[in-house]
Amino acid sequence: MQETIFDKIISKEIPAEIVYEDDQCLAFKDVNPQAPVHILIIPKKSIAKIADADVQDQNILGYLMLKAGEIADELGVKDAFRLVINNGEGAGQTVFHLHIHLLAGRALTWPPG
């Protein structure tokens, strides 16, 4: 799979404001925040997009969701946050390494905005 900017963040070739890291995942501040709290949570395993995940990925996908909740708690936003996964260019995906956006700290409207 083609290397992305997120692989370089995982390998520390380029810097990021990391808020959480373990052997399976990394969470860091989005460089172009859309809310006062905007964290990207990524697997260290390369999966280009959620539609490419398969049954072997079910543990890491669940793990990322649990970590998202823990990170929201640690950042003091557990009562109001939104998780977003953009899948494919038509949905706004620009980096093809699966990531969960964690957004919080402002009113989050619905339909999404």
Q: Which stretch binds ligand DGP (CB under 6 A): 26-34, 64-72, 73-81, 105-113?
A: 26-34
Residues 41-70 touching ligand DGP, rule: CB under 6 A, are: none
Nearer of residues 20 and 55 to ligand DGP, judged by Cβ: 20
**Residues facing 41 on adjacent strands:** 27, 100
CA 82 to chain centre: 11
Q: Does 71 bind ligand DGP (CB under 6 A)?
A: no
Nearer Cβ to ligand DGP (34/58): 34
Structure tokens at 91: 């949905």
Contacting residue, 12, 55, 56, 92, with ligand DGP by CB under 6 A? 92
Give the DSSP letter of residue 92: T
Q: How many CA atoms lie within 13 A of 18 on its CB side?
A: 13
Q: Which residues are known catalytic residues? A: 99
